[in-house]
Structure 1
Amino acid sequence: EEPRYGVEAIVGHTIYEETKVNLHVKWIDYPERTLVDECIIQQDCPAMLYRYWGSCGTREKATGIESSFHPFRICDWRVKKKGKLELKVHWVGYPPRKSTWEPASSVEESAKEIHKRY
């Protein structure tokens, strides 16, 4: 079994596939920095991720990605007028307080795997 290292710091980021982010991670007791997908860091070290983006101003300013968002998880659901289902979506790279209500059909189209798990 490979040893697991704790994250010491996020020291940079790289954009890939135009709208996704890899983070440059410095590890505790491991000399090499590595690239880790933002979703993984958000899952394991959310406070560190949000502090990193805060230190950059905002995630949008740091990445230039302003109009494309990726669902991290679905937090809740509700039925609106006329029976329209909405899902509360927690977004990759953003704290839970920035979650938004979205039409379930939109979430299903853009994030099939997350929608299926929910």
Structure 2
Amino acid sequence: MTLLLTVFAAVISTIVWYKKENRKEYALSALLYMFWGASLMWLIDAIVSFAKEGAAFFAPQEGATIEETVINQQNFFYNQMNDIYLGLAVIALALIIWVVIVLIKDPKHLYRKPKEQE
């Protein structure tokens, strides 16, 4: 789920980067690098996990009894929710870092006066 969330964020930020004319002023490329880098990281993680676990990577394990099966399915659901929270936290962190970068660059000169051109 983290992979899916970061890929969506990367695609959306790529579309915004492509449409904006002043992309350099707002450091949109930094946002792209963060989202595509996270997507690549989780893609490699998913490939390695699938190589180790096989098809069990995508489904909860079946238990010896019905109770164990239900517990495994609940654990699978909770793990998916944890992945969603992790993906959202990574997106939020990347956006916070990007906002700090934009505030430092100050493209609209709200915090410091522009350098006078000679």
**Shared topology, TM-score over 0.5?**
no
Q: Which has the higher helix share?
A: 2
TM-score, scaled to structure 1: 0.22
Q: Which has the higher strand share?
A: 1
Greater C-alpha radius of gyration: 2
TM-score, scaled to structure 2: 0.22
Structure number with greater CO (CA < 8 Å, separation at least 6) is 2
